[in-house]
Amino acid sequence: MLMRLIPLDLIINTELGKIVVSKLIESDHEMTKIDDQTGDLMTCKVQSMQLPEDLGAVNHIFCDKTGTLTKNELVFRGISISGNLSQGSDTTQILDQVYAKNSFTTEMLFKCFVLCHDVIPMNVKGKIVMSGTSQDELIVIEVAGLSKYFTLEARDSESITLRDNQDNSLEVVKVLKTFEFSSDRKMMTVIVRIGSKTLAFCKGADSSMEPRLINLTDQDRASLDDLDDFADQGLRTLVYAYRELPNYTPDQIENLRNEDIEKDFTLLGVTGVEDLLQDDVKSCITGFKDAGIRVWILTGDKDATANQIGISCGVLSTSRSIVQIESIDENTDATSWLGKDILISGQVISELLE
């Protein structure tokens, strides 16, 4: 019925405007790519004339960080063992610093790298290729392989084979039980038998690992301080630890729970890796914000890392106040957040949705 109230020339002008905007979108040189297989130039194709209107209606953008804002390509940036920080622009430089402070703890840490994971070595055309879903695991296994310590050679359901990078000897480590990583625990533990000893190697987020560490020395606390520095640099961090266990019988191993094992750990070290940002991601997000679109990024990183990543990719601005929200109650005044950038924990979001 309202169509009778709208002049025909206005409808025509509106449709012509949609066509012009659609052609502008298709001819945008920043929305092109080279086909990996054919080498042809691929351009954006507008499938609906409603697209300009749909884009104009966008007020919020929600996206994940890993693989969206970042390339999911990790670069090893630093390691701290017994208070000895090794950091540099490339892996060789970092490892040279590690060798200068070599110790029993260092060797145990690199052994933890190649034992506590879900990575499967695969033989492809005579070359060992690591296959796994966690880029964090793949990068530290790669670093271990480049070092003078250990290389992951093979694995099956019952054992993991390591190669000593100094004399090329092989060591078969029996895997007794594995407690897989979970979002609740934020850690992973594997129980192995090396020689006559039964050991538990563990890795996880600092929030889960630190309460489970015992007998911390001043050097250990220095390493945990280095972890905070890694986070302030926007690096993804992990804590590695181990403990010696009694020689359980097979039945006892079968009945073990993670609560029985994941405690009283000795700290081995901490690592920091960088997840490289996509090209021009900051200018892209800044453009969204200039258009009045609110951008929300989901990440599992710790607060300091999330804050630095938010600034690096343009979601958070150093020219605006940044509000960090860890908890809320009935006295919380949400109006005080207006006009500010927000760093909010997942727990708070869950409470708001409830």
pLDDT of residue 23: 85
Which residues are within 8 A (CB) of 97 and not within 5 positions of it... i.e. 6 or more apart? 84, 86, 87, 88
Q: What is the pLDDT of residue 2?
A: 60
**134 and 200 assigned to the same domain:** yes
What gap in Å lies between CA 339 and CA 205, rounded to an integer?
A: 32
Say what the pLDDT of residue 293 is: 87
Asked if residue 188 and residue 127 are part of one domain, the reply reads: yes
* b/e per residue 56-86 (b: at least 16 CB within 10 A): eeeeeeeeebbeebbeeebebbbbbbbbbbb
Does one domain contain both 110 and 214? yes
Q: Is residue 190 part of a domain?
A: yes
Tokens representing 101 are: 């402070």
pLDDT computed for residue 243 by the predictor: 94
321 part of a folded domain: no
Q: C-alpha distances in angstroms, 310 versus 56, 69, 71, 238, 282?
A: 25, 10, 15, 20, 10
Together in a domain, 171 and 226: yes
- Domain identity same for 175 and 109: yes
Decide: 161 and 150 in contact? Cβ < 8 Å.
no
DSSP symbols for 137-195: HHHHHHHHHHSSSEEEEEE-SSEEEEEETTT--EEEEEEEEEE---TTT-EEEEEEEET
* Residue 9: per-residue pLDDT: 77
CA distances from 170 to 153, 197, 215 (A): 8, 18, 33
pLDDT for 1: 57
344 phi and psi angles, rounded to 5 deg: -120, 140
Asked if residue 85 is part of any domain, the answer here is: yes
Q: What CATH number should be reported for the domain holding residue 220? A: 3.40.1110.10
Residues of the chain predicted below pLDDT 50: none
Q: How many domains does the chain have?
A: 2
Closest among 295, 301, 292, 273 to 282, alpha carbons compared: 295
Which residue range(s) make up the domain with 95? Answer: 70-276
Q: Say yes or no: 237 and 269 in one domain.
A: yes
Domain end among 249, 276, 303? 276
In a domain, 292, yes or no: no
List pLDDT tens digits, range 325-335: 777 777 777 77
Examine the domain organization and report whether 143 and 32 are in the same domain: no
Shared domain for 43 and 80, answered yes or no, is: no
Q: Which of 241, 276, 311 is the last residue of a domain?
A: 276
Q: From CA 42, how far away is CA 55, in angstroms rounded? A: 21
Indicate if 132 and 256 belong to the same structural domain.
Answer: yes
Last residue of a domain, one of 276, 309, 344: 276
Q: Does 20 lie in the same domain as 74?
A: no
Whether 87 and 142 share a structural domain: yes
One domain, residues 99 and 13:
no
For 91, other C-beta atoms within 10 Å of its C-beta total 16
Q: Which two tokens stand for residue 181?
A: 């990583």
pTM (global) more than 0.85: no
pLDDT tens by residue, 34-73: 877 787 888 888 888 787 778 778 888 888 877 778 887 8
> Does residue 294 fall inside a structural domain?
no
Query: What letters, b where the CB count within 10 A reaches 16 and e where it falls short, cover 292-323?
Result: eeebebebebbebbbbbbbbebbbbeeeeeee
Q: Is residue 184 part of a domain?
A: yes
CA angle 109, 111, 112 (to 5 degrees): 65
Domain for residue 311, yes or no? no
In a domain, 299, yes or no: no
